[in-house]
Amino acid sequence: MNFLSKTPARLFLLVSALAGAAWLASLDYSKKISTSVLDLIPATERAPELAVIRALADEKQARVALFALRVPGGDDNRDRATAAFIGSLSASGAFSEVEAAADTASRNALARQIFEQRFELLLPGWLAKNESSDPAALAEKTAASLERFMGKPEALAFADLLPHDPLLLLPSLVEKVQSLDAGSAVVPGDTALIWTLTREKPLAEAGQKPVFDAVDAALEAAKKIAPDATLRWTAISRFAAESKRSIMHELIFGTLLTLLAVLGVAAICLPRIAGTLNLAPVILGALLGACVAVTLCFERVHVLVFVLGLMLAGVSIDYGFYLYLQPRKIPGEPYSAKVRRLMKPLLGSALTTVLGFSLLLFSDLPLIRQLGVFVSTGLLCALVTAVLWFAQIKDPFMQARAFAGIQARPGKTARRAAIAILALGVLVALAGPWRLHWRDSTLDLQPRLPQLTRDAAELRAFFGDTASRTIYLTRGENIATTRAALEQFNAWHEAQFPGAATASPGYALPLQADYDALPARLEELRSFPDALRVALDRHGFNASEFEPFFNAWKNFTPARSYDQAVSALASSLRGQVALLMSDAPGASFLITAADHPAPAVEPPAGLSTVSLNQIESLDKLFGRYRVSALRLSAIGLGLVGLSMWLIYGVKRGTLIFTTPVGSCLFAFGVLGLCGVTLNLFHLLGAFLGVCLSHNYAIFTAENDARKEQPPPSIRLSALSTAASFGVLACSSIPVVSALGVTVALIVLSALVVVELKRAAKPSAATCN
């Protein structure tokens, strides 16, 4: 069967389109399409900071929502409106915990729990610090410390506690952790802060719309008391919902805009609108085939694949241009003969791109693997669709407008100018890339949401999370290993940042070794209470006032295991303080706040500690993926260059290869000279740009070999590709914008290089 005849071609296209549409219609997109950043990273990735993120995504931290309710008109008005707001949120069922930030109930509960467990939690560390095995010497040291403490102003706050704690276990702990208190944050006087915990996870639908509805209802309840009340709030659910809305907006309107841009280029350069529409099936066939392939190959597909996949609109139309705008070699040349004549450059241009993107299947990142399948399959479908679609057209040729195919006739001055411009481009390509600097962040994978980001930063500052403070998270398989890692981190931090205060709930926990040694130490210090009575009297205290302590010491027997003692503390935590630690097996962590800005240096991996800045950006992890992508790109470029040698020979293949590679270096040179910070997707865009710009070099070389003028399809192809990637460059998602800018710059540079190389030839002035 001749598939280039009208009926078989039409039947094949119709059946393929119906089968693809049926498959896409059968999908459950809520399960198939992902918007989570975590799905962009391999499930097998074991990077410490990523393990923390995955753990926290299922923990309470992800469900926190912070509110700032502004109520002008006096304290009474504010208190009543705040109470109504809190009551409405609590009654909604969407929140499991709601508390005013000024409410100290959760912190008081923590203090009571530590006080009740002070011998289990604080005494082991105190004994380890005071290693003396002589009860009398230890008693003398204790009494002297107590006497010095009584001379401090803060002693008044502990007056009622000291009879129970002459060892100063709790005062010493409070001195360490007081910087965890967010009370130093500057909050407007007419603003009430509310801390909440949503019932459902923020990335699930149940953790979004019900929460938003509850917040709206709570604000209405507050406005019934204070009509001029205003609310600012932040939560992961808000970012997730707005990101999803923004991405879907880009996907829908970006698709339409890309199609309009690409077809607009064609409409400007082609004389008939109806003829321009003959290129649309090529684009639609590419997009349909790509969507079917990627959803067949992967259980879950990230929505960014489809946003980035808009590039196919500009890339796939190339094959339509090359077939539609290529004139007949001889009058009456059959379409099948035309296809056979063009098949070598068509397959060569398709091979370079498909071969390059097929290598992306070996990438570590699921997103890049999915993109490799999407683009490779889409381009193959575009080629097949173009060949079969134009087989049905009575006259599969359209003459472009005169300006699209106009050829320059430069004189000597123009040739010198072309050579000078090429030389300047070489200088930029050689010098500019040395000024490049790179940084990757998961924040670049999401749309820019400036208003939400500003609100979040201000609200977090109200709750004590400011730029002058660095938050660290120490993790471990269990709470004992986590506490040991915290001890090592503290030693590193003290050496790295001398004098910088730190605070952590981990300071209330003993090391397991100290806890296990507690029974033996108590046995050694059996006479310590009597010695302490004598020492207290000697330092001017009345020992009888400390009977509560002596009775507690006498009755204390460490009967619980270490895990049981820590679990008793962890299970009693409520509200904000409950977020500072977790003793869950396999996902234990402790939070540490340090009074210094985020440093350039991160704790060594052996300390099992990462900063919140590193957790939010994952720049180290993505830096490693960038190196991996660079290796794949180098291999891909090598294979593309080799394919050019195999198809066109070493000399012609090398000349063809220099155009896209030189354009890529020039693009990087421009970005470097402009001071642009590059990321993984600039690299991916460079690889894609090199593959795509081979098309122009290949078809130009083919026409040069036949001593023919290059067809206008080369210019139209470059302009349509640049138009589609120009749409991506306007994206609110930084990585999408990065890819769009890079490819558009490389493609336009390649087109300019092709034109300048032709203009620089001495024979160009005499070409017809």
Mean pLDDT, each 10-residue run in order, the chain (768 residues): 68 90 90 77 60 60 88 83 92 90 77 88 90 83 91 84 90 73 65 90 83 94 91 88 85 83 77 74 90 92 84 76 73 76 75 73 82 88 86 72 58 80 89 84 77 86 80 88 93 89 89 92 90 91 91 88 89 80 84 83 83 62 70 75 78 81 90 87 83 73 67 74 86 87 89 79 50
Is residue 270 one of the residues assigned to a domain? no
Claim to verify: residue 18 and residue 78 sit in the same structural domain: no
Claim to verify: residue 170 and residue 124 sit in the same structural domain: yes
Claim to verify: residue 707 and residue 569 sit in the same structural domain: no
Three-state DSSP at 474 gives strand
Is residue 684 one of the residues assigned to a domain? yes
**In 556-604, where does DSSP find H-type helix?**
562-571
Any idea which residue has 């370079």 for tokens?
352
Claim to verify: residue 542 and residue 678 sit in the same structural domain: no
pLDDT at 387: 85
Is residue 422 one of the residues assigned to a domain? no
Residue 574: both structure tokens together:
């409520």
Claim to verify: residue 71 and residue 199 sit in the same structural domain: yes
Claim to verify: residue 214 and residue 287 sit in the same structural domain: no
Claim to verify: residue 704 and residue 665 sit in the same structural domain: yes
pLDDT at 51: 59
Is residue 233 one of the residues assigned to a domain? no
pLDDT at 45: 57
What residue type is 582 in one-letter code?
Answer: S
Claim to verify: residue 646 and residue 568 sit in the same structural domain: no
Q: Is the dihedral of CA 586, 591, 594, 600 positive or negative?
A: positive
Residue 469: count other Cβ atoms within 10 Å of its Cβ: 20
Residue 298: CA count within 13 A, CB half-sphere: 29
Claim to verify: residue 161 and residue 207 sit in the same structural domain: yes
Query: Which of 617, 648, 663 is a domain's end point?
Result: 617
How many residues does this entry show for the chain?
768
Is residue 46 one of the residues assigned to a domain? no
Structural domain count of the chain: 2
- Rg (C-alpha) for the chain, rounded Å, is 35
Is residue 268 one of the residues assigned to a domain? no
Residue 115: CA count within 13 A, CB half-sphere: 18
pLDDT at 24: 92
73: alpha, beta or left, given left = phi > 0 and alpha = psi -120 to 50?
left
Largest Cα span, the chain? 120
List C-alpha distances in Å: 53 to 40, 242, 456, 616, 623: 13, 21, 19, 8, 17
Claim to verify: residue 492 and residue 622 sit in the same structural domain: no
Claim to verify: residue 597 and residue 631 sit in the same structural domain: no
Query: Which of 560, 591, 617 is a domain's end point?
Result: 617
Domain around 156: 52-224+454-617
Query: Which of 617, 652, 675 is a domain's end point?
Result: 617
pLDDT at 100: 87
d(CA 543, CA 69): 51
Claim to verify: residue 498 and residue 604 sit in the same structural domain: yes
Is residue 184 one of the residues assigned to a domain? yes
Is residue 255 one of the residues assigned to a domain? no
What residue type is 166 in one-letter code?
Answer: P
DSSP 66: E
